[in-house]
């Protein structure tokens, strides 16, 4: 990956390929927090890529699952779906191929800059295809192979605890510790 150099849109596929080499563990369990405007919630996300299964439990009491080709969403029930469809942004952070930021057809963003930050992280900056002043960022933790932080518009998502190569628990009674201070970065 080329660092500290503005990347042309044509480099997008290569950046994605390099990201997938770094950030694509087969099984991940993460706890995090998402802030959308002035609202926030905590979540636990579990993903097993080989089994094509995932689950997200939120502090708002909602449970979302994908198992055996079926996506289950509170209040909407279950429907047949392809693996990866219906994933929320928090889940896509664990499965970067499904992020809508790689400059592929019908995607509004593409990577324009990669920078090494701290001792074990890469900061990626994405630009909107129609507005170069509209940018988003994501931080990849190279030790874990997971995106740990994203900032898009007025939305911020941070993974506070990540475990890789653990079997899924399918727990729905997750207890979340109160957030009492800003979440300090670990780059």
Following DSSP, what letter does each residue of 141-159 receive, concatenated? ETTTTEEEEEEETTEEEEE
Domains identified in the chain, total number: 1
pLDDT digits (tens, 9 = 90+) for 123-140: 999 999 999 999 999 999
Q: What is the predicted pLDDT for the residue at 23?
A: 84
Name the band, by pLDDT with cuts 50, 70 and 90, for residue 90. Answer: very high
Question: Which residue range(s) make up the domain with 136?
Answer: 9-164
Give dist(CA 155, CA 142) in Å, integer. Answer: 23
Each residue's pLDDT tens digit, 164-183:
998 999 999 999 999 888 88
Cα separation values, 153 from 51, 114, 135, Å = 33, 19, 8
Distance of alpha carbon 117 from alpha carbon 184, whole angstroms: 14
- How does DSSP classify residue 14? H
In a domain, 1, yes or no: no
Mean pLDDT of 1-14: 95
CA distance 118 to 46: 27
Q: What is the mean pLDDT of the chain?
A: 93
Residue 172 resides in a domain = no
Query: For 125, phi and psi rounded to 5 degrees?
Result: -110, 135
- Residue 2 within a domain: no
Tell me what pLDDT residue 182 has.
Answer: 86
Q: What is the DSSP letter of 54?
A: E
Please give the pLDDT value at position 33: 97
Would you state the pLDDT for residue 27?
Answer: 95
Q: What is the pLDDT of residue 43?
A: 98
pLDDT at 75 over 90: no
Domain assignment of residue 103, yes or no: yes
CATH assignment of the domain containing 114: 2.50.20.10
**Tens digits of per-residue pLDDT, 38-72?**
899 999 999 999 999 999 999 999 999 999 999 99
The residue among 180, 179, 184, 176 whose CA lies nearest residue 30 is: 176
Alpha-carbon distance of 112 to 102, in angstroms, equals 10
| DSSP H or E run through 19 | helix 12-22
Residue 180 located in a structural domain: no
Computed over its alpha carbons, how large is the radius of gyration of the chain? 16
**Contact yes or no for 23/146 (Cβ under 8 A):** yes
Q: Does 185 map to a domain?
A: no
pLDDT over 90 (residue 85):
no
- State pTM to two decimals: 0.92
Break the chain down into helix, strand, coil percent, rounded to 5. 10, 45, 45
pLDDT of res. 140: 96
pLDDT computed for residue 1 by the predictor: 85
């Amino acid at each position: 990956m080329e660092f500290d150099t503005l990347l042309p849109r044509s480099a997008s596929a290569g950046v994605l390929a390099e990201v997938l080499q770094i950030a694509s563990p087969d099984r991940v369990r993460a706890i995090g927090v998402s802030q959308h405007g002035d609202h926030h919630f905590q979540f636990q996300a579990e993903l097993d890529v080989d089994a094509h299964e995932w689950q997200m439990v939120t502090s708002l009491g909602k449970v979302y699952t994908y198992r055996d080709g079926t996506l289950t969403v509170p209040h909407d029930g279950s429907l047949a779906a392809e693996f990866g469809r219906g994933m929320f942004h928090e889940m896509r952070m664990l499965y970067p191929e499904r992020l809508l930021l790689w400059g592929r057809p019908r995607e509004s963003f593409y990577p324009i800059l990669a920078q090494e930050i701290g001792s074990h992280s890469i900061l990626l900056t994405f630009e909107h295809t129609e507005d170069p002043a509209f940018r988003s960022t994501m931080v990849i933790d190279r030790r874990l192979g997971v995106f740990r932080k994203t900032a898009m518009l007025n939305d911020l998502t941070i993974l506070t605890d990540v475990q890789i190569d653990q079997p899924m628990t399918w727990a729905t009674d997750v207890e979340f510790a109160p957030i009492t201070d800003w979440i300090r970065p670990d780059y």
